[in-house]
Amino acid sequence: MTAASLKLGFIGLGIMGAPMAGHLLKAGHTLFVHTRSKVHPDLAAATVCASAKAVAEQADVIFMMLPDTPDVAKVLFADDGVAAGLTKGKTIVDMSSISPIETKAFAKRINALGCDYIDAPVSGGEVGAKAASLTIMVGASDEAFARIKPLFELMGKNITLVGGNGDGQTCKVANQIIVALNIAAVSEALVFASKAGADPARVRQALMGGFAASRILEVHGERMIKRTFAPGFRIGLHQKDLNLALAGARAIGVALPQTAGAAQLMQVCAANGGQDLDHSSLVKALELMANHPVMPDAG
């Protein structure tokens, strides 16, 4: 244990949460965790708590990495939830991707207990979580951000205070719009090229040297060609994020036609049993419509 060791909590040890919590533990901090799944061997030194309330009672900073808005609400405000275990001066850091509107309401309830609330959703997927290279989009007060930033630096590289509570989540929704539309664009390009008779792998290689180059073309374009759709970020979760975008757009009177189209393509995938595949498998919806795969599936 180091002189700067802190008592930290982490709730939600899934594909991304487990490695994120692991970075905090490796830095020498005391870690209290609560999860419905088996604790990863890398977190063997953490103390497993029976409830979210117990985590909040033990830790001074409590991180959450949960699937959706209702999950965060339950973990925070159930009878055995985080709020029930808080004392003044503690900090909640929600790194889930959830509703910006609900986030503002959650923050007010936590602030009323004398505690700070930070929304800090991330981008970078499982790869970024493992490599501690996540992009972290933060909604918080200046003071709370300054205090927690050294902990963010253990998990990410591009860390930005976007604004107050809810602004981090708004930024994440914007991120998910861009990612979804890029996946759709790469999918359309590779389906078109393949059905036209060109080698999609060589097309991708050529495009990587031009203005069409992108991280999505690099990583997810390769997944589409190699048919490797094991989840780094699941279709079902990206659907949730696009639904947040569309609901938010309705609330503020903004049209998001391309986002709506991408959401429908993901719905096609989910309706065909693909909700647990990586979001790069959006290409399968376009392949169905073209009656032509970019490349044949293995086996």
CA–CA gap between residue 231 and residue 281 (Å, rounded): 9
Whether the Cβ atoms of residue 90 and residue 60 lie closer than 8 Å to each other: yes
Q: Is 8 helix (H, G, I), strand (E, B) or coil?
A: strand
- Token output for 246: 């569309």
Place of tokens 């073209």: 290
Whether 130 is a known active-site residue: answer: no
Whether the Cβ atoms of residue 175 and residue 123 lie closer than 8 Å to each other: yes
Closest CA to 43 of 64, 61, 25: 25
Catalytic option among 26, 53, 149, 172: 172
Place of tokens 């030194």: 45
Whether the Cβ atoms of residue 115 and residue 91 lie closer than 8 Å to each other: yes
Q: Is 120 helix (H, G, I), strand (E, B) or coil?
A: coil
CA–CA gap between residue 3 and residue 173 (Å, rounded): 38
Catalytic residues: 172
